Amino acid sequence: MEMVEMETMRWLPLILSVLLVLFNLHGSFAAFSPADNYLIACGSPQNVSFQGRTFAPDSVQSSFVLKGQGNSVAATSSSSVPSPIYQSARIFASTASYKFKIQQEGRHWVRLYFYPLPDSGHNLASATITVITDDFVLLNNFSFESYNSSYLFKEYSINVTSDTLTLTFIPMNNSATFVNGIEVVSVPDVLIPDQALVLFPSSPFNGLSDLSLETVFRLNMGGPLLTPQNDTLGRIWENDMKYLHVNSSAVNVLVNPSTIRYTMSVTSEIAPNWVYATAESMGDPNVPNQNFNVTWVFPVDPNFMYFIRLHFCDIVSRTLYDLVFNAYINSDTAISSLDLSTLTGNLATPYYKDFISNSSIDSDTITVSVGPDTMADITGAILNGLEIMKISNDARSLDGLISVEGLLPKSSKNSKIGIIVGAALGTLATVGLIAFCYCCLIVHRSKTTHQGPSWLPLPLYGNSQTMTKVSTTSQKSGTGSCISLASSNLGRLFMFQEIMDATNRFDESLLLGVGGFGKVYKGTLEDGTEVAVKRGNPRSEQGLAEFRTEIEMLSKLRHRHLVSLIGYCDERSEMILVYEYMANGPLRSHLYGTELPSLSWKQRLEICIGAARGLHYLHTGSAQSIIHRDVKTTNILLDENFVAKVADFGLSKTGPALDQTHVSTAVKGSFGYLDPEYFRRQQLTEKSDVYSFGVVLMEVLCSRPALDPALPREQVNIAEWAMSQQKKGMLDHIIDPTLVGKVINAASLKKFGETAEKCLAEYGVDRPSMGDVLWNLEYALQLEETSLALTEPEDNSTNHIPGIPMTPLDPFDHSASMIDGVNAGTNDDPEDTATSAVFSQLVNPRGR
Ligand SMILES: *[C@@H]1O[C@H](CO)[C@@H](O)[C@H](O)[C@H]1NC(C)=O
Ligand SMILES: *[C@@H]1O[C@H](CO)[C@@H](O)[C@H](O)[C@H]1NC(C)=O
Ligand SMILES: *[C@@H]1O[C@H](CO)[C@@H](O)[C@H](O)[C@H]1NC(C)=O
Instruction: Identify the residue whose C-alpha is closest to ligand 1 atom 9.
Output: 47
Q: Is residue 563 exposed (0-12), middle (13-18) or buried (19+ Cβ within 10 Å)?
A: buried
Is the residue at 693 inside a domain? yes
Is the residue at 446 inside a domain? no
Q: Is residue 197 exposed (0-12), middle (13-18) or buried (19+ Cβ within 10 Å)?
A: middle
What average pLDDT does the segment 576-596 reach? 90
42 & 177 share domain:
yes
Q: Rounded CA gap, 518 and 636, in Å? A: 18
Q: Rounded CA gap, 257 and 275, in Å? A: 9
Contact in structure between 466 and 199 (CB atoms under 8 Å):
no
Picking from 577, 595, 628, the residue at the C-terminal end of a domain is 577
Cβ(371) – ligand 3 distance below 6 Å: yes
Cβ(37) – ligand 1 distance below 6 Å: no
545 & 664 share domain:
no
Task: Identify which ligand lies nearest to the alpha carbon of 291.
Answer: 3
Is the residue at 801 inside a domain? yes
Picking from 542, 577, 612, the residue at the C-terminal end of a domain is 577
146 & 166 share domain:
yes
Cβ(369) – ligand 3 distance below 6 Å: yes
Residue 844 above 80 pLDDT? Answer: no
Residue 81 above 70 pLDDT? Answer: yes
For residue 388, report the distance from its CA to the centre of ligand 2, in Å: 21
77 & 23 share domain:
no
532 & 556 share domain:
yes
What average pLDDT does the segment 741-750 reach? 80
Predicted local confidence at residue 568, as pLDDT: 84
- AA identity, residue 226: L
Predicted local confidence at residue 774, as pLDDT: 92
For residue 293, report the distance from its CA to the centre of ligand 3, in Å: 6
5 & 108 share domain:
no
Predicted local confidence at residue 648, as pLDDT: 79
Q: Interhelix angle for 746-759 vs 770-790, to 10°? A: 170
**Mean pLDDT, all residues of the chain:** 75
Which residues, 6 or more positions from 735, have their beta carbon under 8 angstroms from its beta carbon? 701, 702, 749
What average pLDDT does the segment 162-184 reach? 91
For residue 113, report the distance from its CA to the centre of ligand 1, in Å: 21
Picking from 187, 207, 222, the residue at the C-terminal end of a domain is 187
For residue 774, the enclosing domain spans: 587-843
Contact in structure between 761 and 719 (CB atoms under 8 Å):
no
> Closest Cα to residue 494, out of 551, 579, 570, 581?
570
Instruction: Identify the residue whose C-alpha is closest to ligand 1 atom 3.
Output: 56
Strands (E), 679-736: 683-684
Rg (CA), the chain: 29
Q: Is 635 left (phi over 0), alpha (psi -120 to 50) or beta?
A: alpha
Q: Rounded CA gap, 278 and 254, in Å? A: 4
Instruction: Quote the Cα angle for 306-519-608, to 5°.
Output: 85
In DSSP terms, 182 is beta-bridged to 40, 112
pLDDT-based confidence at residue 768 (cuts at 50, 70, 90): very high
pLDDT-based confidence at residue 515 (cuts at 50, 70, 90): low
Q: Tell me the CA distances in angstroms from 811 to 317, 674, 692, one per residue in order.
A: 61, 21, 17
Predicted local confidence at residue 128, as pLDDT: 92
Give the total number of structural domains in the chain.
5
For residue 351, report the distance from its CA to the centre of ligand 2, in Å: 24
Residue 429 above 50 pLDDT? Answer: no
Predicted local confidence at residue 518, as pLDDT: 72
Active site residue: 314, 630, 772, 832, which one?
A: 630
Known catalytic residue at 708 = no
Cβ(76) – ligand 1 distance below 6 Å: no
The three-state secondary structure class of 772 is helix
Q: Tell me the CA distances in angstroms from 793 to 778, 789, 802, one per residue in order.
A: 18, 11, 15
69 & 119 share domain:
yes
Cβ(46) – ligand 1 distance below 6 Å: yes
